[in-house]
């Protein structure tokens, strides 16, 4: 198993092979075009998401010193944090079991190296093996930004598709807290799925609550000093700024809401992993959605880099 041929790495950082002998990095980026398709054998609607993010940032690859006002510092400082990009993993829509295995094993290798994994999807089935890889690295709080609940036990006999992401996470012993933000509209969930989420103890924060009260109610649910995995489904964000999704819903979080949540989590806890999924470049409008998604990843990377420096990981 090796890195795929990717012409452009994220922000032009060094390429790496997570299945090689050693990873000399503090953060490692991997892409996964496919995992468990909801239509067996069908390629993910979000298969082109990872490389769309890489491509939109290519123009900054040689100008990392451009000032980023969202982060109040240069766009990227490799001296602050060593970042490497494996490219996309070798996945196949006709081999969901193998896809879950390679995503899980790649993430485990990154974690064993002491680096923080950032995963670019792919649809919302991709985070399931990503979260599975954190066995032994808990207890873990999951912070999910998503319009949908994702608590179906199965759909058409399938238990690992994008309808079941949080249900599968809830079954992992190392996941002790789930905070779901941005819920709105109508998705695939039914009353029994909502009741299952509530019985487990998942914290459900609707998009309307964020609009009314801001992000503080979300951050109040994050344990101080804990370990958090942030997973972002692009449809959790308002489609007026991120239209590049398969199931847009009116309303949603703003770009600045998402950045405030990521930054607030980093101020209270350790971001142990991060993923962004459900970006559908073919549904974009004037490139706005891909740009918004890429900027969210840049800000998350900046927060992780600051944490690594504060924790003394970087000399």
pLDDT tens for each residue of 110-158? 999 999 999 999 999 999 999 999 999 989 999 999 999 999 998 888 8
| 315: in domain | no
| 273: in domain | yes
| 168: in domain | yes
| 256: in domain | yes
| 5: in domain | no
pLDDT for 7 equals: 52
| 69: in domain | yes
| Average pLDDT, integer, range 291-308 | 95
| 1: in domain | no
The model carries a pTM of 0.94
Q: Look at residue 4 and tell me whether its pLDDT is greater than 50.
A: no
* The three-state (H, E, C) secondary structure of the chain, written as one string: CCCCCCCCCHHHCEECCCCCCCCCCCEEEEEECCCCCCCCCCCCCCCCHHHHHHHHHHHHCCCCCCEECCCCEECCCCCCCCEEEEEECCCCCCCHHHHHHHHHHHHHHHHHCCCEEEEEECCCCCHHHHHHCCCCCCCEEEEEECCCCCCCCCECCECCCCCCHHHHHHCCCCEEEEEEEEECCCCCCCHHHHHHHHHHCCEEEEHHHHHHHCCHHHHCCCCCCCEEEEEEEHHHECCCCCCCCCCCCCCCECHHHHHHHHHHHHHHCEEEEEEEECCCHHHCCCCHHHHHHHHHHHHHHHHHHHHHHHCCCCC
Instruction: Tell me which residue range forms the domain holding 30.
Output: 10-310
| 4: in domain | no
Number of domains the chain contains: 1
pLDDT tens for each residue of 28-80? 999 999 998 888 888 999 999 999 999 999 999 989 999 999 999 999 887 77
CATH of the domain at 120: 3.40.800.10
């Amino acid at each position: 198993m090796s890195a795929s041929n990717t012409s452009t790495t994220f922000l032009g950082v060094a390429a790496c092979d997570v299945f090689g002998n050693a990873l000399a990095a503090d953060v490692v980026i991997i892409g996964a075009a496919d995992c468990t398709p909801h239509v067996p054998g069908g390629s993910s609607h979000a298969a082109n998401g990872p490389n769309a993010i890489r491509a939109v940032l290519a123009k900054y690859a040689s100008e990392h010193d451009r000032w980023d006002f969202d982060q109040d510092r240069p766009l990227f400082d490799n001296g602050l944090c060593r970042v490497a990009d494996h490219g996309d993993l070798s996945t196949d829509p006709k081999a969901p079991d193998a896809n879950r295995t390679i995503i899980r094993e790649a993430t485990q290798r990154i974690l064993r190296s002491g680096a923080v994994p950032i995963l670019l999807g792919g649809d919302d089935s991709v985070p399931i093996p990503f979260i599975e890889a954190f066995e032994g690295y808990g207890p873990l709080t999951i912070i999910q930004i998503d319009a949908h609940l994702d608590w179906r036990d199965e759909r058409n006999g399938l238990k690992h598709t994008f309808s079941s992401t949080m249900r599968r996470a809830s079954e992992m012993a190392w996941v002790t807290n789930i905070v779901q933000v941005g819920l709105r509209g109508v998705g695939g969930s039914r009353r029994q799925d909502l009741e299952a989420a509530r019985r487990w103890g998942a914290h459900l924060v609707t998009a309307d609550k964020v609009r009314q009260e801001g992000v503080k109610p979300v951050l109040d649910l994050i344990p101080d000093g804990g370990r958090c995995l942030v997973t972002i489904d692009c449809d959790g964000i308002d489609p007026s700024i991120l239209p590049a999704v398969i199931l847009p819903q009116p309303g949603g979080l703003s770009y600045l809401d998402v950045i405030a949540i990521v930054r607030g989590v980093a101020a209270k806890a350790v971001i142990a992993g991060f993923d962004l999924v459900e970006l559908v470049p073919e549904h974009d409008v004037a490139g706005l959605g891909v740009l918004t998604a890429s900027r969210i990843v840049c800000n998350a990377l900046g927060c992780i880099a600051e944490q690594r420096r504060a924790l003394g990981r970087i000399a």
